[in-house]
Amino acid sequence: MKTIWIVDKDFVPDPLPAKNRYKIFLDIPDLKVKFFCAVERSALDMCALSTFVWNKDINNYAEWSLIRKVKGNKFIYYISFALAFFMKTLFVKEKPDIIVASCPDPFQALAGLIIAKLRKAHLVVDFRDYWPELLWQLGLLKEKSLIGRLIFWLTGLIARNAEGIMSAEESFIKEYLKSRKADKKMVFVRENVHVKLNEHYDSTTSLSSCFVEKVKNIIRAQKRQGRKIVVMAGTLNIGPKSYEMVENFLKKMSDNICILVFSSDQKFQAIFHKVYKDNFYMFQPVAKNEFLAILKSVDALLMFVENLIGSAFSSNKLFDAISIGIPVLCGVIDHSQVNKQVSQNIPGVYTFNINDISRFKDILRAFPLQSEEVSKILMFVRQKYLDQVRGLSKFLELVAERKVPE
């Protein structure tokens, strides 16, 4: 039974809001998994947190090691978590076979690298986003800045010392690793898709079930008025230059469409308040099980991307939607990309030019989907996930077979 440590400050236990990205480890047989994450002080006292999960059918055991989240800016948060993880794991008796360090946060990944060296464990780095290149592309960081050069150097150091690489897509990761002289590394391309294969780790605890009912009442009232219901969630993963395009798109939204937004993104909130209408609603993010319960009641998920290349279609929210048969409308900023086939050819995902509001309305008018179309989407998602489970299991075996570098 292999022991794997996963270092990701944001992968929190149920029922706190969490991403899909590492739930796949809970479906791999003969595995002991330990997640290291950061939570607010108030959450540490919650008896409802599911910090232990045992799936005896496949001999899979998982637990969460909770680190108190330090308040401050992102830099303080990143550094404090990395240091806390390092100190927490430096003297423990348990020895992991593999440490999976989540990036783009290079500090927690660096801490994972150091602990892997000290404990003579294999290191796998999961490049979820490509810093600093993505920050350069979005205009959030200057290419020649000291911080940019530091992040580039750190990610290169981490990649070169890893025995395996995980990535959300396979197009840009090759160039990313090549620029860091790490292009010979073994790579596993993972999706953010997740399907419940069992109920062992599905939390039934709800932090605010009355809130879900409140939202569902809004949805029912809006539907009685003949409106289509569209959900937006998370952050706007687009460059600042594209914010105005999203704002203009939402301004053109007709009164027969109701939009529900679940986000704490300040830029998103600022845009939303500028375009506010009576049929627009904005809420703070909710727990994953609550979000899915709400999502089942709407007509579509709406998201925006710069282009259709690579990680644009590794979105957690996208797979959350299609995994329960809810279609996704994807507004593309780069007009030349609209007619290109989505790399994974994902059923249930419909793209449109962000400047073409009529195309958006035409697609939305066809929803809800027919049962045959929904079945096709669900079959695709389940098969995709099963393939991912088998692929990741084999990848971990190959990593574990390698000689640990001195």
Using one digit for the tens of pLDDT, what is the confidence trace for 26-58? 999 999 999 999 988 776 665 556 688 888 889
At 189, list the tokens. 């391309």
**HSE on the CB side for 318, CA within 13 Å?**
22
User: 317 or 261: whose pLDDT is higher?
Assistant: 261
The lowest-confidence range among 151-160, 216-225, 254-263, 307-316 is: 307-316
Please provide the average confidence, as pLDDT, over all residues in the chain: 85
Identify residue 321 by its one-letter amino acid code.
A
Give residue 296's pLDDT.
Answer: 93
Give residue 15's pLDDT.
Answer: 66
pLDDT range class, residue 314, cuts 50, 70, 90? low
Give residue 120's pLDDT.
Answer: 94
Whether the per-residue pLDDT at 7 is higher than 50: the answer is yes
Give residue 44's pLDDT.
Answer: 65
State the average pLDDT over residues 268-278. 85
Give residue 201's pLDDT.
Answer: 44
Alpha carbon separation from 243 to 13, 247, 248, 305 (Å, rounded): 33, 6, 9, 11
pLDDT range class, residue 113, cuts 50, 70, 90? very high
User: 332 or 116: whose pLDDT is higher?
Assistant: 116
- Site of tokens 């706007």: 236
Give residue 337's pLDDT.
Answer: 53
Identify residue 210 by its one-letter amino acid code.
C
User: 41 or 294: whose pLDDT is higher?
Assistant: 294
pLDDT range class, residue 72, cuts 50, 70, 90? confident
- For residue 341, with 0-12 CB atoms within 10 Å meaning exposed, 13-18 middle and 19 or more buried, which class applies? exposed
Winning range, highest mean pLDDT, from 47-51, 183-187, 274-278:
183-187
pLDDT range class, residue 187, cuts 50, 70, 90? very high
State the average pLDDT over residues 211-220. 93
State the average pLDDT over residues 254-277. 87
Residues in contact with 186: Cβ distance below 8 Å, sequence separation at least 6, in sequence order:
163, 164, 165, 395, 398, 399
**HSE on the CB side for 213, CA within 13 Å?**
5
DSSP β-bridge partners for residue 101: 7, 125
pLDDT range class, residue 205, cuts 50, 70, 90? very low
Q: Are 185 and 158 in contact (CB under 8 A)?
A: no
Whether the per-residue pLDDT at 79 is higher than 50: the answer is yes
Q: What is the DSSP string of 269-318?
A: HHHHHHS--TTEEEE----HHHHHHHHTTSSEEEEEES-SSGGGG--HHH
User: 224 or 55: whose pLDDT is higher?
Assistant: 224
- For residue 157, with 0-12 CB atoms within 10 Å meaning exposed, 13-18 middle and 19 or more buried, which class applies? middle
State the average pLDDT over residues 366-385. 89
Question: Rounded to two decimals, what is the model's pTM?
Answer: 0.78
Q: What is the DSSP string of 371-390?
A: HHHHHHHHHHHHHHHHHHHH
State the average pLDDT over residues 253-266. 88
Whether the per-residue pLDDT at 403 is higher than 70: the answer is yes
Whether the per-residue pLDDT at 258 is higher than 70: the answer is yes
Give residue 202's pLDDT.
Answer: 45
Phi-psi region of 327 (alpha: psi -120 to 50; beta: other; left: phi over 0): beta
Grouping H, G, I as helix, E, B as strand and the rest as coil, residue 359 is helix
**Helix (H), strand (E) at residue 165:** strand 164-167
- Angle in degrees, CA 23, 27, 30, rounded to 5: 125
Whether the per-residue pLDDT at 208 is higher than 60: the answer is no
The lowest-confidence range among 52-66, 114-128, 131-145, 283-297 is: 131-145
Give residue 345's pLDDT.
Answer: 66
**Order of strands across the sheet with 328-332?**
280-283, 257-262, 228-233, 300-305, 328-332, 349-353
**What percent of the chain clears pLDDT 70, i.e. is strictly above it?**
89
User: 191 or 349: whose pLDDT is higher?
Assistant: 349
All domains of the chain in start order, with CATH: 2-201+384-401 (3.40.50.2000), 209-286+300-367 (3.40.50)
User: 308 or 278: whose pLDDT is higher?
Assistant: 278
Per the omega criterion (within 30 degrees of 0), is the bond before 13 cis? no
Candidates 180, 160, 164; CA nearest to 172 is 180
User: 386 or 314: whose pLDDT is higher?
Assistant: 386
Q: Are 70 and 81 in contact (CB under 8 A)?
A: yes
Torsion angle (degrees, nearest 10) of CA 288, 292, 128, 245: -120
Residue 129 DSSP label: S
